[in-house]
Amino acid sequence: MNDTGGKSGREVARRVLTPRKIVVQAIGFVIGSILLAWCIWTAITNGEWERLENAEWWMVAALIGCSFISAIINGTIFWRTAWPLKRMKWIDLQSINLTASLLNYAPIRLGLVFRYMYHYRMDGLGIIPITTWFVAVTLVLFACVSGAIMTTIIHPHLDITWALLLIAWVIVSAAILWTAARTEAARRIARGREQLLADTRTLVANYLLRMCDLAAWTARMTIAAMILDLPLTMAETFLISMAAIALSLNPLGRFGFREATVAIVAGHIVSERMDGDLEGTMAQLALVESAGEAVINIGLGLVAAIWVGYRWNTREQEDDQSDGR
């Protein structure tokens, strides 16, 4: 099931981060920096900062708390989805996820490269199993986000009808993934790794955890809107949150693209019923929501990176001693 033989961690990194990807992501970082600078400038020049200055402490704590919950859920998703491949420690996956989130703020998205290097070096997983694992996580994420967006567009009221439509979408998409993973072609190609989607309990856990993550994202966006005293409906907040998630996954990088998307999408959604300088206000919303996540990703990411670095160095020393015998 693994393909680790003959490759070092650096060789794995070179395979994952090709020169073409480096160029694309470097260009993306430049574009993202321009977009982020636009958001900051728009918020500073046109925003009403007294609202943020007068924010209740519990709102700020709740904003950061939602980011913490989302981070833990994401680490748990990677941990639980990997069971058909390998049982790993939950705390290790949390540390890896937080470190990867921190590294994704770099000009080149190093989070994915780090994940490959770590799981190859420390867990003995090959490139193909790791890729299959990440694809399984991404497919469920895409299914949940696309379903949430389509459901809200079709029925823009978060009521029982909306909930039933979303549940129906989740069940149908899960059934499609489950059925596809159990086909003879999938078994022949994946060679056992199809269980990442074919195992019923793993797939259900992946979906349930992802829906909880979408709820945490929506809650963070809702609190950011409350801090700025923006009269957004739940449906509007939900759509803006889903747009933020979708743009965070773009291949050019998360830096700046997400903030600009939130500002533009939010402004478009509420333009027909809200007056005033929407551009500055929505830029503020984007920055406040993103800052709530950055506090956790950077703060806990640094702590996690220290722990991960310690484990990596310990393994290196053990291997050196083994080679010296």
Q: How confident is the model over 5-14, as pLDDT tens digits? A: 445 567 777 7
CA angle in degrees (0–180, nearest 5) for 53-59-62: 140
Query: How crowded is residue 324: how many other Cβ atoms within 10 Å of its Cβ?
Result: 6
- Name residues whose C-beta falls within 8 Å of residue 288's C-beta, 6 or more positions apart in sequence: 52, 63, 224, 227, 228
Q: What is the pLDDT of residue 2?
A: 52
The closest of 245, 291, 302 to 99, measured between CA atoms, is 302
Q: What is the pLDDT of residue 4?
A: 52
CB 27 within 8 A of CB 21: no
CA–CA distance, 295 with 284 (Å, rounded to integer)? 16
Q: What is the pLDDT of residue 5?
A: 46
Give me the average pLDDT of each 10-residue run along the chain (325 residues).
55 80 88 93 84 89 97 97 95 96 88 92 91 96 95 92 96 96 89 91 97 96 93 90 87 82 86 70 92 96 95 81 63
* Element housing 140 (H / E): helix 127-154
State the pTM of this model.
0.91
Q: What is the pLDDT of residue 95?
A: 97
Q: What is the pLDDT of residue 6?
A: 45
Biggest CA pair distance of the chain: 75
CA–CA distance, 288 with 291 (Å, rounded to integer)? 5
**What is the residue type of 11?**
E
CB 123 within 8 A of CB 86: yes
Q: Which residue has the tokens 């596809």?
A: 180
CA–CA distance, 63 with 251 (Å, rounded to integer)? 27
